[in-house]
Chains A and B, each alone.
Chain A
Amino acid sequence: MKLFRAAFGAAMLVVCMDQAALATTQNVIFNGTITATCTLVVATNGTMTVSPDLQSLSSHNSGGSAGTVTLTTTGGVSLSVDPVTITTVPAADTTAITWTPTYSASGAHTIAETGSATSLTAPGADLVTVHLAGTKGGSNRFASGSYQATVTVRCE
């Protein structure tokens, strides 16, 4: 009887060793949706200097510097600058100034200097360079004192 039990046990072990373990698999689905996105980060403001004939106050002039903005987008947005509406001029300056904001971009998009809106269709990051020029016509000249202007850079 003992021999029979041992033989039966051994036979069962051999049978069980031949059985594969049962396993199941399930897929886990991940979804993600990104809508049109734009981030503007102002890196530096600009500086305007006056021209020798005192009729131009511009970031393009010698000693002036452009403002810079980092733009990151998914694409499907447009970039533009607004006409300048917020300015501070010294009391001694009583004549009209024509302000012209412009921008250019390099990086994922290459935009030559312009004042018009530009569609950004592709995703990526850009360095946007912003210039501002104030000009006076006729015999008018810029006066001594502090000038300040705000350029609005819009991504929409």
Chain B
Amino acid sequence: MTFSGTLATALAVGLIPVAAAAQSMSPMRGEVNSFTDVFAVRVFPANPYDQKIKIEVHVYDQDFQPVEAKISPSVFQLASQASRPVLVVVPFDGAPDRKVRICTESIPFPNQQTQIKAQICGKFFGHRKS
């Protein structure tokens, strides 16, 4: 199966995301059923600041170890008060279920002595159906 076919299947079976403005990331919880070896989640990072910020999206496992997932896009600039969809495709890696954290990260005021990185993480549970 091609990547696009796999993706389409996973999306068709999976999560129905609810977009909302003025949130740092939505949804923050989700459960996805997939008949393929990956599952897909669409999240919507938002920029609540009055300035453009750089946002990074990362995927971690239960122990906050990085997960090899396809994130489109993983790094981008987001205008003030704007939101945009980010597609995350997570492999099951042979497991029947997989719990991951999808995190939106930003440092709104870089280049200062003590920087604060804001990180909003959603918890997502993928089930592989046979």
Contact = CB atoms under 8 A, between A and B. Distances in A.
Interface size class of A (residues with CB under 8 A): 20 to 34
Contact of B121 (A48, A67, A147, A154): A154
Contacts, number: 99
A45 B22 contact: no
Interface string A54-84: 0000010000000101000000010000100
Given A156-B101, A156-B120, A156-B121, A39 B114 contact: no
By secondary structure, the A interface counts as strand
Interface stretch (B5-13, B70-78, B88-96, B104-112): B104-112
A82 B112 CA distance: 18
Contact of A59 (B49, B114, B118): B114
A86 to B, nearest CB: 8
A10 interface: no
Interface in B3-43: 18, 20, 22-24, 26-29
- Minimum-distance CB pairs A-B, first 9: A156-B121, A46-B114, A40-B118, A150-B115, A154-B119, A152-B117, A45-B112, A67-B116, A39-B24
Interface of B: 18, 20, 22-24, 26-29, 48-49, 101, 103, 105, 107-109, 112-123
